[in-house]
Amino acid sequence: MSGAPGPTPPRARAAASADGGGAVGSAGRILGTTARLAGPIVSLVALVIVFSLAGRHFATVGNAQSILFTGAVLAVAVVAQGLVVVTRNLDLSIGAVMASGGYFSILLYIHVPGVGPFLFPLAAAIGAALGAVNGVAVAYLRIPSLVATLGTMSIFRGLLYASAGGRDLDTDQLPGWLLSFVSSTIAGVPALAVVAIVVALAVGLLLRQTQFGRSVFAVGSNPGAAIFYGLPLRQIVLKTYALGGAIAGIAGVLLAGEVGTVTVDMANGWELETLAAAVIGGMSLLGGSGSVAGAVLGALILTVIDNGLIQAGASGDWQNFVKGFVIVLAVGLDVLWRRRRSSRMRLPGRRREAGAT
Amino acid sequence: MSAVLATLRRRLSPARFLIGNGMPYHGRRGWNLALVLLIVATGAWATAESPDFLTFHYLFDAVEGAAVSALLALGLTVVVIIGEIDISLTSNLALCTVAAGMLGQAGAPAALIVIASLLVGGALGFINGALVGYLGLPSLAVTLGALGAYQALAFIIGGHAGFTAFPPAISALGFGAVGAVPVSLIVFLAVAAAVSVVLNLTTIGRTFYAIGRNPEATRRTGISVPFGRTIAFVVAGLVAGLAALVFVGFYGSGGGDSAAGTILTVVTIVALGGVDIYGGSGQISGVVLAALLLLTIQSGMALLNLSTTVQTIVIGALLVLSLAASEIMGGGAWRRGLARSLARLRPASGGPEGGASPGGGE
């Protein structure tokens, strides 16, 4: 503890410039965002080129539609996970929240068909309530998010098992409009993908263009500094969990429509799948960095790997191996890139420090 | 001479292993006592409800089923103490069972199978450790990738049929008994004692706590933090290799799907054991007690015909409530996590690995 108010810490400066410290649309911020997206974009393009050369059926309109269709729900779920990850937290309960949102909202629809039009708000409300439980556990009860959401994952999934009693919801119980909406296309683009884009745009704008969004990044990049600035850290974390839960609830309904049934095991394992997509999309699990666009790209990359490897005739084992490898590769490249950048940024700061003393 | 003896006596006093050695970072105060009380309460309740509970036959059956997760938890504890996490341990175990299974199929002797399993486990742990320690990658992301990759590799190498041919000496690890005591319980207690000795009595053990407590300070004292981190992952990998042998012994088969999906149980045991998930604090005694508590809850409830659903909810609630209680009363991990980020406000040090926070802010 030197105590002396030294020069602005490089890390804080970096956070300020990258997370909207300057004017809206400042060149530095746009450049920073684009640079961060470069990795995922290059990877995606490279994957598409390789798979197109490898198989005749990859580069077709039908296959592109299929990729968008299968990747859409994951993209929505990753947006929910990403919101929480930006605050330097995790949500391991996201799969259980998705299943609960999908199951209970559709169960209510079966008993009270009148709620049909409000299916998505309903699922969002259920998800938000469960997300708020996570938020309270993490922000107010101060439990590390990894452990807290590990516990709530068991609780939410267990409650779902208990109340469902092993009964799955079948296709003929699902609202017809949901099934036909999910399988429809809008100008050739699957409706699911359109929903994913809308959700991503909304959350992206929220994070990039609003005060709340900036405070979310501030909390994630440096909680201590955020408190010094007077930001209500706990409220912000609680809100992101609730919002993430709401989006996860919506994703649950979408997944129900895509799969055609709702089982109590729905979205099991999505907690790790969404984290993987977030990491591949350039989000740091240490918080404060990443973008919604990157998260969506991460989901798309995972889907393209699955799709391309299936077409190339590779087994599911090879898909999982490649995915695991890609996660480590993405994190490795990201850390290397950061280190180069921070060593470049650190030089002037150090010189000034030396001059001051 | 007498000073040496006094030091030795202090170092080896049983109290030290049970409640820590008095240093604040070796465990939460009163945590183990609370675990013991919970175990007694759950056991008393289960016994009152069903007289079958307190029979050696029943308890030892339950122990055999729970030994694998409990063993993995001992290894994970070391990794959590240095402030990292390894969620790939179950996949590591799966690949070890494939190695053991292939050798068993080829008719290799038990000793060779043991060595191979430990080697594979240690090597996979080393890969994780080197990526985290030397390249500075975040452990959660690395082991998330390894979780998928190692298991996939186990399937690619071993196929989906699984292996069932093991020499009797290996099967005894999971299923045998010395008198009435299951071998897996003996293995578990032996590993627990060994890890506890490493953590409490050796230099590398103290290094683990130091790294978990403050990596930057540890680096400045001249200790190699990357080396310490790597070794912690290797220890966890070795334990996973041993757990793989207990697994194939108990289930009689090995393959890519071995222990799949149980990593969250393992993390639960560690967290319930009072190990600070941010690193720097925790005792093996707590983890052993937590494994015992989980066993008591699960076997007691199973005996009462309560569904696994209820067990799941109870364990989840226990995890959240226990940590909430501890954080509120003791101002634990969260406050320390905050203190750590407050420390980051100071001008960043120019260490090549970026200290505790490889890229805390974008």
pLDDT 10s digits, B265-276: 898 899 889 888
User: For residue A343, is pLDDT > 60?
Assistant: yes
CA B208 to CA B83: how far, in whole Å? 9
A353, two tokens: 């420090």
* Closest of B293, B291, B309 to residue B69, by C-alpha: B291
* Closest of B86, B158, B149, B263 to residue A323, by C-alpha: B149
CB B63 within 8 A of CB B184: yes
- CA geometry: angle at A66 spanning A61 and A69, to 5°? 125
First to last CA, chain A: 16
Between A and B, how many residue pairs show a Cβ–Cβ distance under 8 A? 234
Give the helix/strand (H/E) hosting A49.
helix A27-54
Report which DSSP code applies to B92: H
Higher pLDDT, A164 or B146: B146
Domain A38-333, CATH:
1.10.3470
Number of H helices, E strands in chain A: 14, 2
CB A101 within 8 A of CB A126: yes
With CB atoms and an 8 Å threshold, state whether B150 touches A324: yes
- Confidence band (pLDDT; 50, 70, 90) for A78? very high
Report which DSSP code applies to B84: -
User: For residue A305, is pLDDT > 60?
Assistant: yes
Interface test mutation site (partner B, options A81, A85, A150, A350, max chain B beta carbons within 10 A)? A150
Segments making up each domain of chain A, as ranges: 38-333
Give how far B348 is from chain A: nearest CA, Å. Answer: 6
Chain B contact set for A284 (CB, 8 A): 138, 359, 362
Give how far A98 is from chain B: nearest CA, Å. Answer: 17
User: For residue B360, is pLDDT > 70?
Assistant: no
Higher pLDDT, A232 or B58: A232
Residue percentage of chain A with pLDDT more than 70: 86
With CB atoms and an 8 Å threshold, state whether B316 touches A152: yes
Q: Which of B131, B348, B362 sits opposite A328 (nearest CB)?
A: B131
pLDDT 10s digits, B172-184: 887 778 877 888 8
Give the helix/strand (H/E) hosting A122.
helix A119-135
User: For residue A356, is pLDDT > 50?
Assistant: no
CA B277 to CA B279: how far, in whole Å? 5
Chain B contact set for A225 (CB, 8 A): 341, 345
Q: What is the mean pLDDT of chain A?
A: 82
Instruction: Determine the residue of chain A that is closest to B257 in CA distance.
Output: A317
Confirm whether the ipTM is greater than 0.85: no
Integer-rounded Cα radius of gyration of chain A: 21
Residue percentage of chain A with pLDDT more than 90: 29
Give how far A96 is from chain B: nearest CA, Å. Answer: 13
CB A37 within 8 A of CB A280: no
CA A317 to CA A322: how far, in whole Å? 9
CA A233 to CA B335: how far, in whole Å? 13
Give how far B87 is from chain A: nearest CA, Å. Answer: 10
Report which DSSP code applies to A171: G
CATH number for domain B53-297, candidates 3.40.190, 2.60.40, 1.10.10, 1.10.3470: 1.10.3470
Higher pLDDT, A63 or A99: A99
Q: Which of A9, A12, A286 sits opposite B359 (nearest CB)?
A: A286
Q: Give the model's pLDDT for residue A146.
A: 86
Q: Which of B152, B271, B348 sits opposite A10 (nearest CB)?
A: B348
Q: Give the model's pLDDT for residue B60.
A: 76
- The lowest-confidence range among A16-25, A138-147, B60-69, B129-138 is A16-25
State the DSSP string of B34-57.
HHHHHHHHHHHHHHHH-TTTT-HH
Instruction: Specify the long-range contacts of residues B298-302, CB closer than 8 Å, at least 24 apart.
Output: B298/B62, B298/B66, B299/B46, B299/B53, B299/B58, B299/B59, B299/B62, B300/B42, B300/B43, B300/B45, B300/B46, B300/B49, B300/B53, B301/B46, B302/B62
User: For residue B155, is pLDDT > 90?
Assistant: yes
Burial of B42 (0-12, 13-18, 19+ CB in 10 A): buried
* Closest of B136, B273, B119 to residue B195, by C-alpha: B273
Chain A contact set for B138 (CB, 8 A): 284-286, 331, 335
Higher pLDDT, B164 or B64: B164
CB A282 within 8 A of CB A39: yes
Mean pLDDT of B246-260: 88
Q: Give the model's pLDDT for residue B65.
A: 78
Higher pLDDT, B82 or B339: B82
Q: Give the model's pLDDT for residue B339.
A: 57
With CB atoms and an 8 Å threshold, state whether A335 touches B358: yes
Report which DSSP code applies to A137: I
CB A247 within 8 A of CB A202: no
Interface test mutation site (partner B, options A34, A92, A153, A154, max chain B beta carbons within 10 A)? A154
pLDDT 10s digits, A217-256: 998 888 888 888 888 889 999 999 999 999 999 999 999 9
- Confidence band (pLDDT; 50, 70, 90) for A2? very low
Q: Give the model's pLDDT for residue B13.
A: 55
Mean pLDDT of A290-318: 88
Amino acid, res. A295? A
Instruction: Determine the residue of chain A that is closest to B145 in CA distance.
Output: A324
- Report the b/e string of A85-96 with b at 16+ CB within 10 A: bbbbbbbbbbbb
Amino acid, res. A225? A
Q: Give the model's pLDDT for residue B85.
A: 92
Alpha helices in chain B (DSSP H): 2-12, 14-19, 31-49, 56-81, 89-105, 110-133, 139-158, 168-175, 183-201, 203-213, 215-220, 225-251, 263-272, 284-303, 308-330, 333-343
Q: Which of A1, A147, A327 sits opposite B323 (nearest CB)?
A: A147
CA B275 to CA B333: how far, in whole Å? 10
* Closest of B170, B125, B123 to residue B143, by C-alpha: B125
pLDDT 10s digits, A250-288: 999 999 988 888 888 888 888 888 998 998 888 888 878
CA A131 to CA A127: how far, in whole Å? 6
In sequence order, what are the residues at sequence separation of 6 or more whose Cβ sits closer than 8 angstroms to the Cβ of residue B4? none
Higher pLDDT, A32 or B79: B79
Q: Give the model's pLDDT for residue B350.
A: 37
- Confidence band (pLDDT; 50, 70, 90) for B355? very low
Beta bridge partners of residue A262, listed in sequence order: A169
- The lowest-confidence range among A86-95, A151-160, B302-311 is B302-311
Q: Give the model's pLDDT for residue A169.
A: 84
In sequence order, what are the residues at sequence separation of 6 or more whose Cβ sits closer than 8 angstroms to the Cβ of residue A16? A22
- Confidence band (pLDDT; 50, 70, 90) for B126? very high
User: For residue B25, is pLDDT > 70?
Assistant: no
A269, two tokens: 């394992």
Give the helix/strand (H/E) hosting A161.
helix A145-164
- Confidence band (pLDDT; 50, 70, 90) for B26? low
User: For residue B330, is pLDDT > 90?
Assistant: no
Q: Give the model's pLDDT for residue A228.
A: 86
**Maximum distance among all Cα pairs of chain B, rounded to whole angstroms:** 64
Q: Give the model's pLDDT for residue B354.
A: 35
- Sole residue written with tokens 């996939």: B152
pLDDT 10s digits, B60-101: 777 877 899 999 999 999 999 999 999 999 999 999 999 999
Mean pLDDT of A50-67: 82
Chain A contact set for B279 (CB, 8 A): none
Higher pLDDT, A318 or B307: A318
